[in-house]
Amino acid sequence: MDLVISNAIVVTCDAGGTVITDGGVAVENGRIASAASSAELAPLSANAKRVVDGSGHILMPGIINTHCHAADSLFRGLVEDLALEPWLQTVWKAEGAILNPDTSRLGSVLGFAELLLSGVTTVMDMFWYPTETVRAARTVGIRVATGGIFFDPPGVTGHDLAGRIAAAEDFFDEFGASDDVFPSILPHGAYTVAPENLRTAKAIAERHGALFSTHAAETRAEQADVTGRYGRSIIRHLDFLGLLDERTVLAHCVHLDDGEIEILARTGASVAHNPMSNLKLASGVARIPDMLDAGINVALGTDGAISGNDLDMWMALRLAATLHKGVSGRPEVVTTSQALAMLTTAGAKALGAADRIGSLEPGKFADMILIDLKRPHAVPVFDPITHLVYSTAKSDVRHVFVGGEQVVRDGVLTRHDIGQTIAAVEHLAPKIAASIA
């Protein structure tokens, strides 16, 4: 074995909800060879290249963030107290003034570092320069689902439709066979991309067997805009265009009626729930309990740090587990197991990667995190799943492994000196502030 971790509380997140009270995993060639009790792992530990003592920790799968704009971390706290539509106009102004390939890579490194340090090992990221997004992800060691962006206006890159198609195809040529990249097509939304261009984007995704992700039904104003233009609500519009299937990930889905929920259930599309962003922008509260009842695959996302001010998936988890109880008046909705699945297996399913990530099972990538239990807020632990959902903070994540490689050790990145990135962002900050003055 290349690596054995033992003596931990193992929350496998497998289909049976298996928890091993004293156990760990064995890793060979970047994949999990065994998830078992410490006693069963002892013979493997004897000849392993590296053994890690997980005492006082929970070992669980790496977190999956299914909706993010990591490079927008450059604009954290820049635009406040606005609804989505006027907020976007200011955001796009700042992005247009600041972003280029270099600054996009800088912002992505900053965002991905924040995610990785908090236990996120895979992220679906939508941004203007996807090649730079991959370079940033590889700088810190995180897996990324990203690819060609579709947006009818010129946007930051200045591309027309032909340019966007060419960029998307080039991305597949470069990264289509990479284990650390899930190539995707990501049109911005039904209100910024015309129907024929959405179909073009989906056709590219289908030709490559790729993921397709877009913003959908985030606000009432967006619903009114799309319905006014096309005579159909957003989900019905996307369905009419043939864009919804099991490889489709829809971010937000806050404002849906019963018929739209039925469409998502029928087509197998996944929803990326972003409770923090939806609350802060006053977009509303998604009907997550109804979606779960309908059998829709619901995963979690942070959105960008420009809308939620950080990229904290643990906060997203706790909101997803509590918000809908308060809104519905039903304490039984969104159980702890459902909430934890949103963080792990549902994200893997959304990315078409349930065979590779999302749980600690033999054959899957050794993407996993160790969470410190020797904290005042972490004792006693009667149920580790309850602890993860309601008590764990991002600062509790001590060690992170991606493909068996330790990319965070004792809360510090191993591949990259984040101090350099922080200094570069601080140097850029005055120019960012002036961009919306």
178-193 pLDDT, tens per residue?
Answer: 999 999 999 999 999 9
Reported confidence tier of residue 419, pLDDT bands at 50, 70, 90? very high
Contacts of 155 (CB under 8 A, 6+ apart): 92, 96, 128, 149
Quote the pLDDT of residue 416: 98
3-61+357-413 belongs to which CATH class? Answer: mainly beta
Give pLDDT, residue 89: 86
Start-end of CATH 2.30.40.10 domains in the chain? 3-61+357-413
> Can you give the C-alpha Rg of the chain in angstroms?
21
Average pLDDT over the chain, rounded to an integer: 96
Q: What is the pLDDT of residues 139-165, one digit of tens each?
A: 999 999 999 999 999 999 999 999 999
Q: Using DSSP, state whether 2 is helix, strand or coil.
A: coil
Render pLDDT for 30-52 as a digit per residue (tens, 0 to 9).
999 999 999 999 999 999 999 99
* φ, ψ for residue 148, nearest 5 deg: -60, 135
pLDDT at 308: 87
| pLDDT band at residue 85 using 50, 70 and 90 as cut-offs | confident
Q: How many helical (H) and strand (E) elements, i.e. helices and strands, does the chain have? A: 17, 17
Minimal CA–CA distance to 297: which of 239, 246, 360, 225? 246
* Helix runs in 125-214, H state only: 130-140, 161-175, 195-208
Question: Which pLDDT score is estimated for 92?
Answer: 85
pLDDT value at residue 336: 97
The answer to which of 45-49, 52-56, 88-92, 216-220 has the lowest mean pLDDT is: 88-92
Question: CATH 3.20.20.140: does it fit domain 63-350?
Answer: yes
Q: Which of 148, 153, 239 is nearest to 201 (CA)?
A: 148
What the block records as the tokens of 65 is 């963030």
**Between the CA of residue 83 and those of 55, 89, 190, 320, what are the distances in Å?**
46, 11, 18, 21
Of the pLDDT bands very low, low, confident and very high (cuts 50, 70, 90), residue 122 is very high
Nearest to 319 by CA among 305, 301, 307: 301
Q: What is the pLDDT of residue 258?
A: 98
Indicate where the chain has its CATH 3.20.20.140 domain(s).
63-350
